[in-house]
Amino acid sequence: MERWRQLSKPWQKGFTLIELVIVLGIMAVLGGTTLVTARGIQRRTLHNTSLAIQADLRRAQRLALIEGRRWRVNFDIENNRYFIHPLPRSFGDHAYIVYLPRGVEIEGFAPRSFLEYLPRGTPTSGFSLVLRSGSYQQQLTATVSGGRIAIWDIERLLE
């Protein structure tokens, strides 16, 4: 009887091939889901940052109209931030400093690193700003006529 028990239930050490394949399959599904989620978060963060910059540009435009003086938005590419302040600056004026979220970078701008609004609310020149997050880019464009600010998706870059 003892011998039959040993032959019918051999104790094995380790995992079977089926168990390993199932675990690897589960890990692959979870890894793929995480990757898709991370890319969606990058894209959303970039879009929300573009909307926030657009709102701040409109804020500078409104302040120029209300206060009857120039307002400028300076972009600092090295430190990933921008400043909103009146011109000429005087004692007691507030300057707003805004840092971009982690993972969003200022890729470039044209023709200058700032956008200035005249007292009538129109920009002194057209302006274009490109933001990047991971493999996604968005461009903000301000036009001279009416000071319209548009956000454009740039095609996803190939990795």
Q: What is the pTM of this model?
A: 0.73
Average predicted confidence (pLDDT) for the chain: 83
pLDDT digits (tens, 9 = 90+) for 66-94: 999 999 999 998 999 999 999 888 887 88
pLDDT digits (tens, 9 = 90+) for 11-52: 667 778 888 888 888 888 877 777 666 677 888 889 899 999
| 3-state secondary structure string across the chain | CHHHHHHHCCCCCCCCHHHHHHHHHHHHHHHHHHHHHHHHHHHHHHHHHHHHHHHHHHHHHHHHHHHCCEEEEEEECCCCEEEEEEECCCCCCCCEEEECCCCCEEEEEECCCEEEECCCCCECCCEEEEEEECCEEEEEEECCCCCCEEEEEECCCCC
Amino acid, res. 17: L
CATH 3.50.50.60 fits 16-154, yes or no: no
